[in-house]
């Protein structure tokens, strides 16, 4: 069987598309957990976060191997929040589950309506979408362009 030039180009294009789709999809549970381990900083690209929570300064998230996590929120009045007993898990579904999650800048789902004070403890966990690229991005709220950006290994 002899393939024409157009047929060869089509086959190559289909193979490239298939490889690109499989490379960009969510990894399996084991690989995903390995890739998610690290330190993240909350990037908030909507209106300045200070317009929504005037006391907010910054937030970071650290995902450790084995499922332990910690979250640090800094506020302009000098009050800081550091989580204790926080856990995370990834099962291969494209989402990372964080329990409990403090929404420091008041951007995430139901917490947006509660308007927690900076010193209040978080009340619930969250399942957040992960964008898989060279360095994972954890979307806090894709509608307002708020996300945790990978900074490097855990500290």
Q: Is the residue at 147 inside a domain?
A: yes
Q: Is the residue at 85 inside a domain?
A: yes
Place of tokens 């917490």: 111
CA neighbor of 91 nearest in space, from 127, 140, 132: 127
Q: Is the residue at 80 inside a domain?
A: yes
Contact 63, 37 (CB under 8 A): yes
pTM as predicted? 0.74
127: containing domain: 27-152
Encoding tokens for residue 136? 């994972």
Q: Is the residue at 11 inside a domain?
A: no
Q: Is the residue at 20 inside a domain?
A: no
Distance CA 100, CA 104 (A): 12
Q: Is the residue at 22 inside a domain?
A: no
Q: Is the residue at 34 inside a domain?
A: yes
Number of Cβ within a 10 Å radius of residue 8: 10
Q: Is the residue at 86 inside a domain?
A: yes
Q: What is the mean pLDDT of residues 12-25?
A: 47
Q: Catalogue the E-assigned strands of 64-111.
A: 68-75, 80-82, 86-90, 95-99
- Tens-digit pLDDT profile for residues 46-60: 655 555 666 778 889
Residue 20 has a pLDDT of 41
Q: Above 80 in pLDDT, residue 114?
A: no
Longest dimension (CA), the chain: 75
The number of domains in the chain is 1
Distances 132 to 61, 86, 116 between C-alpha atoms, Å: 17, 23, 30
Q: Catalogue the E-assigned strands of 37-77.
A: 38-44, 56-63, 68-75
Pick the residue with more confidence: 76 or 45? 76
């Amino acid at each position: 069987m002899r393939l024409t030039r157009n047929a060869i180009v089509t086959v190559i294009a289909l193979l490239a598309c298939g490889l690109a789709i499989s490379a960009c999809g969510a990894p399996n549970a084991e690989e995903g957990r390995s890739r998610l381990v690290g330190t993240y900083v909350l990037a908030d690209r909507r209106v300045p976060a200070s317009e929504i929570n005037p006391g907010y300064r910054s937030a970071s998230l650290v995902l450790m191997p084995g499922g332990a996590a910690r979250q640090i929120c800094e506020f302009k009045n000098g009050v800081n929040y550091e989580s204790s007993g926080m856990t995370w898990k990834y099962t291969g579904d494209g989402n990372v589950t964080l329990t409990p999650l403090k929404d420091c800048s008041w951007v995430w789902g139901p917490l947006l309506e509660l308007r927690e004070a900076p010193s209040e403890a978080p009340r619930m966990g969250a399942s957040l979408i992960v964008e898989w690229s060279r360095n994972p991005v954890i979307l806090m709220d894709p509608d307002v362009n708020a996300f945790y950006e990978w900074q490097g290994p855990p500290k």
